[in-house]
A = this chain, B = another copy of it.
Amino acid sequence: MEYAVRGPIAIRAVELERELANGAQKPFPNVIKANIGDAHAMGQKRITFIRQLLECIANPSSMKIDKTLPSDVIEHANAFIGSCRGNSAGAYSRGTGVEVVRKHVSEYISRRDGGIPSNSEDICLSRGASESIRNVLKLFINRNNSIYRNKKKVGIMIPIPQYPLYSATIGEFGLGQVGYYLREVSNWSLDEAELERSFNGHRKEYDIRVLCIINPGNPTGQVLSRENIETIIKFAHKKKLFLMADEVYQDNVYAQGSEFHSFKKVLVEMGEPYSKLELASFHSVSKGYMGECGMRGGYVEFLNLDPEVYALFKEMISAELYSTVLGQAVIDAVVNPPKEGEPSYALWKKERDAVLASLKERATLVEKAFSSIDGISCNPVQGAMYAFPQITIPQKAVEIAQSRNQHPDFFYAMELLESTGICVVPGSGFGQRDGTYHFRTTILLKPELFKDMLARFTDFHAKFLAQYK
């Protein structure tokens, strides 16, 4: 299982930090971690409402003692605790999750999608979107699944570049990876011809059943237009594909004119036959404005799933290890935030808006900064938390990398780390068109640190080009 985001470069970065702490001399004063979408690790402040709710659920006695807790926080907490077995976050929660949270998730989805109904019975809570994604993919493992019994491996269509959870899980489960390229020249959009090419190129080898989309994109930061989504839905219908919509960045949309459209909403509004497509949509508390990665909370909503398959899924997750109840409390806070007029509303809104405004600023800053460096081009960061700039790597450097059996952009990223302390993820970890090279950087650095990173980066890149030209 390869996982570039936590691969050799990330490991080396931690070593370098330790070396620096032990007084080693390096050509840089500190390591700058732009490799992982871990907002709190990068100094993002906690949202008061979320943490107050957690406080109350973790230690209900605090509700009687702490007189500064707003009444709506206490109401939320009591509703949550009342839905836990034994009225305690210390009790196991059943496979699909705490009931009141499932209900709040469905209400959230319905609000988000302009009133399109959502049924709490179709929601399964989990310890993060990754877990749900893995469990849905598990349904397609032939050997365990009587429904898709077939001699060919089941093929899963995934974007290239993609978040490596997909490629790693597909490999681990013995499924078939069917990559379709995103169009870098039109800001990483999807192209029907490319979907067709990819499907046709693999249909002999695999029984292609699933189409995965990441929107907003990771590592690519694009936000799909409604038109683009309709094209994808039509394609999925034509090929009878199960749609997996990774929508964990649905709150992270920054660009003028960009808007998040859920696959569910578009598909339902398109009407039959498209509204009958099977869909799984994923969300998480790790991203958005809250960035609560360490809490482990996420969910999947199913639409039109075959009841027999859903029964199998629920059986599977019940046999699995239980979810963390406090992680589910964070989901609850995210999907059921304070409403206008409630005591917590003003502060919650202020904090949320501040995080999102700051991310928006940084999205523009990062794009502009990287675009201005010679030999680097960078698409706009319309959403999510990443830029995925393309870099020119001189032939001489490519050859050295190849002689070491390294991807050229891995070589580049490792040189960057050793020379400047900047940690990014090489594009090869996500996949890219042959002969192109990229890296992924988060937009989570604070402006001061980002300025510092940019100075180091510009200097390094010029030297790298000169050295290997």
| A contact set with B: CB distance below 8 Å | 1-3, 6, 14, 36, 38-44, 46, 48, 51-52, 54-55, 58-62, 65-66, 68, 84-86, 88-94, 127-128, 130-131, 134, 168, 290-296, 316, 318-319, 321-327
Contacts and interface: CB of A to CB of B under 8 A. Distances in A.
B41 A91 contact: yes
A90 B48 contact: no
Contacts of A40: 85-86, 88-91
Contact of A86 (B41, B61, B65, B322): B41
A309 B35 CA distance: 27
A36 B92 contact: yes
Contacts of A292: 90
A434 B40 CA distance: 56
B321 A128 contact: yes
A116 to B, nearest CB: 28
Interface centre among A1, A14, A60, A128 (most CB of B within 10 A): A1
Contact of A295 (B36, B54, B55, B89): B89
Nearest to A298: B321
A321 B127 contact: yes
A13 to B, nearest CB: 12
Copies of this chain: 2
Given A1-B319, A93-B294, A130-B321, 11 more contacts: A14-B94, A39-B91, A41-B88, A44-B86, A46-B59, A46-B60, A51-B59, A55-B55, A90-B294, A90-B295, A324-B324
Given A59-B51, A61-B51, A321-B131, A294 B89 contact: yes
Nearest to A127: B321
B319 A92 contact: no
A316 B6 CA distance: 11
Nearest to A94: B14
Contacts of A86: 38, 40-44
A34 to B, nearest CB: 14
Residue of A61, A90, A321, A324 with highest tally of chain B CB at under 10 A: A90
Contacts of A290: 90
Contacts of A46: 59-60, 88, 90
A449 to B, nearest CB: 13
A54 B322 CA distance: 19
Nearest to A292: B90
Nearest to A45: B88
